[in-house]
Structure 1
Amino acid sequence: MSYRLGELFCGPGGIAWGAVNADIGDPKFRIVHQWANDYDASTCATYRRNICPDSPQTVYHEDIRKFDMNKLNDIDALAFGFPCNDYSVVGEQKGMDGVYGPLYSYGVKALRKFKPQWFLAENVGGLRNANEGKAFTKILAELRESGYRITPNLYKFEEYGIPQARHRIIIVGIRNDIDVVFRVPSTDPYRNADNTCRTAIEVPPIPENAANNEATKQSKIVVERLKYIKPGQNAFTADIPKELQLNIKGAKISQIYKRLDPNKPSYTVTGSGGGGTHIYHWDEPRALTNRERARLQTFPDTYKFEGSKEGVRKQIGMAVPCKGARIIFEAILKSFAGVEYPSVEANINE
């Protein structure tokens, strides 16, 4: 069974890569790209280049609020990583009251229009707390009312062998009239995985001709400051001379000038980059290149991102880790194929 996948808010293709590369050893069960949509032109160009180079017309660069879904072909599955700006712990957590909060409703609209057999929806862990938890409750209720049995779970991707501490709520839904039960894949098979950021970035070495690998020009003061910051420390926990310290009043975000600990997974890769929020190398006094960041998100080195250096950084930071997505899609395929796999109870009570 080939499942034709439609994707809203598709980003650069982390979810899509996981979907089309999902392999359960039975060629009858696979996922194929059908169409995708995103509001950012460079992001769409990245997706076309890497996911569907032979059918670029199936990626629609349009604002979802003005997007005519009637022109889309039928699908068997839907994925939507709806924008998380208003649910993020880093932001102000406006939730439903923000610009991005209500955008999940277009995923609901697509479910009701196309009635796919299953769906995967993704958002940040902070979604549970937005609007005192009311936003999450409302979203789950609307997904259920669309005709789906849902399994929401907070996935900690570093526990699945991904070289990055990245926590995301992923909701898998299966249409009510289909006798298939999805179970959350267990982390046990990945318990001994070498998912340190050093291994991710250095093994194998990044090819010299790899795309998106240009270095960030660091100012002299940043280079000097980083010399005093040890692996795992940030600008506020390190012993830095007074003239190199940051004069910040109020909240002190822990990722400011934070160096990676080479013996652990990376901290969360984000789309931002100003004011010391790049991810910083554990040894060299510099920020990571976009290609190094892409490795932490498990994109293959052959995956070329389109757009400006800053735009590419944002694309990489907004993506779902490719190999993390693949694990979940393979669990979905196994569920439909009737193949047993190690599983655990969902950690979010509906």
Structure 2
Amino acid sequence: MIFRKGELFCGPGGLSLGAKLAEVTSPSGEVYKIEHQWANDIDKWACETYRHNLCPDKPESVIEEDVRELDIESLDPIDGFSFGFPCNDFSVVGEHKGFNGEYGPLYTFGVKVLRVHQPKWFVAENVGGLESANGGEAFLKILDDLENEGYVLTPHLYKFHEYGVPQKRHRIIIVGIRNDMGLEFKVPKPTHDGIEKPFMSVREAFMEIPEDSSNNEKTRHTSKVKEMLKYIRPGENAWSEEIPEHLRLNVKGARLSQIYKRLHPDLPSYTVTGSGGGGTHMYHYEETRALTNRERARLQTFPDDYEFIGPKEQVRKQIGMAVPTQGAKVIFEAILKTFAGIEYESVDSKWKIALRELKTSRDNKIELPQK
């Protein structure tokens, strides 16, 4: 069985590559997999990257357009749908505007796709800060709107380093299956616990990167920055007491922990981001430099043959905004197993319980589980 998938806010294709790589065989021998049908994003370079890697023979299927101008009704029929709606207004970094910001309401276009095309399943992704936006009301409103389109929801906070991603990246993923399918998605059990199955480390992620890999150019730093980095130990940042006074940053007020922070080789990295200027580009644990974009892509579990298109800073932005391919693959495989009737190990979603309570008691404020 092949599920034709559409996607809004597709970015460079982290979710879609994970979907493409997911494949299962049912007990009867039928193969279940996902194929690209169409995708949309407003970012020129992200669309170019997506076309180049995922559908070079069908470039017109990637629509570079503001979603607010997109003719959703005219899009080709789909069986599955994904959308990592913009997280700017829900992120814990920033002004926390939630629904009051420019990006907060954009999830409604995903709701419209569900209403118009009625796919059998969908995957929605956003930052962990979504749960606290607008005092928690934003998350409940989004869940309510998605459920009202006729879907059984399973929301969960995924900690991707628990699924083989060499990065501590926490994201809310909402999986919905259409009511008439008679199926219910279960959260796949983590594959790594840090003890019996150690988390993937930065050192492992960076092993054997070919010198001629695409997007692997190194950043040129000033002699002062390179000298300062010599005094910063792996896992520490620009506020280390070991940095001589003449090399320290002259910063007043809040001191962000990720400024000139060097990765620790034996641990997963901290979260890869697509925003920020110098000092926030993530720094190598051994060499006195920022990471190359290929190293950042390794932390996001993109394969080395996945070439990002665009200027260096635009590539950095694409990689930082993407969903880790390995994490996406685990979720899409679980969806395919659900439809194929294949049992798999799972864990409970506390938010799913809260959603059920909300459904039976609309007038009562439901407290969402803490991280």
TM-score under structure 1 length normalisation = 0.97
Counterpart pick for 1:126 among 129, 137, 141: 129
Deviation at 1:242, TM superposition (A): 1.6
Which residue of 318, 343, 347 maps to 1:344? 347
Q: Secondary structure at the match of 1:288?
A: coil
Other-structure match for 1:199? 204
The RMSD of aligned alpha carbons is: 1.2
- Specify the alignment match of 2:226 in structure 1: 223
Q: Does 1:114 align with 2:122?
A: no
Question: Which of 307, 325, 328 is the equivalent residue of 2:328?
Answer: 325
**1: CA distance, partners of 2:48 / 2:297:** 17
2:298 corresponding residue in structure 1: 295
* CA–CA distance in structure 1, aligned partners of residues 59 and 173 of structure 2: 28
Provide the C-alpha distance between the structure 2 equivalents of 1:342 and 1:252, rounded to a whole number of angstroms: 42
Gaps of 5+ in 2: 356-371
- Which sits farther off after the overlay, 181-190 or 297-306? 181-190
Match of 1:236 among 239, 248, 254: 239
Q: Quick one: which of 134, 137, 142 aligns to 1:139? A: 142
- Pairwise CA distance, 1:241: 1.4
Deviation at 1:235, TM superposition (A): 1.0
Query: Is the deviation greater in 234-243 or in 272-281?
Result: 234-243
Say whether 1:105 aligns with 2:115: no
Query: What do the CA deviations read for 1:300-345 (whole angstroms, capped 9, x no partner)?
Result: 0000000000000000000000011000000000011110001000
Distance 1:296 1:19 in 2: 18
Paired position in structure 2 for 1:91: 94
- Does the Cα contact within 8 Å between 2:166 and 2:200 map onto a contact in 1? yes
1:313 aligns with 2:329: no
Alignment match, 1:20: 20
Deviation, structure 1 residue 275: 3.3
Looking at structure 1, the residues matched to 85 and 15 of structure 2 have their Cα atoms a distance apart, in angstroms, of 12
Is 1:283 matched up with 2:313?
no
Q: CA deviation at 1:192?
A: 1.4
Answer whether contact 2:192 2:199 (CA < 8 A) is retained. no
How big is each residue's C-alpha offset from its partner over 1:174-210, in whole Å with a ceiling of 9 and x where there is no partner?
11111111100001467515510111012xx111221
Q: What is the rounded CA distance, in whole Å, between the counterparts of 1:238 and 1:257 in structure 2? A: 14
Cα distance between partner residues in 1 of 2:62 and 2:292: 27
Specify the SS of the correspondent of 1:143: helix
Q: Once the two structures are aligned, what percentage of the paired residues are identical?
A: 60
Q: Aligned partner of 1:106: which letter?
A: F
1:24 CA displacement = 1.8
* Superposition deviation, residue 239 in structure 1: 2.2
Q: For 1:7, what is the secondary structure of its paired residue?
A: strand
Residues 264-304 of structure 1, C-alpha deviations (whole Å, 9 max, x = no match): 00110000241300110001110000000000000000000
CA deviation digits over 1:225-267, x for unaligned, max 9? 1111000001124421122212222222111100000000011
Larger displacement relative to structure 2 (77-86 or 190-199): 190-199
Structure-2 residue corresponding to 1:4: 4
Contact map agreement 1:161 1:193 (CA 8 A) in 2: no
- In 1, Cα distance between the equivalents of 2:294 and 2:278? 20
Secondary structure of the corresponding residue to residue 38 of structure 2: strand
Q: Which residue of the partner structure matches residue 74 of structure 1? A: 77
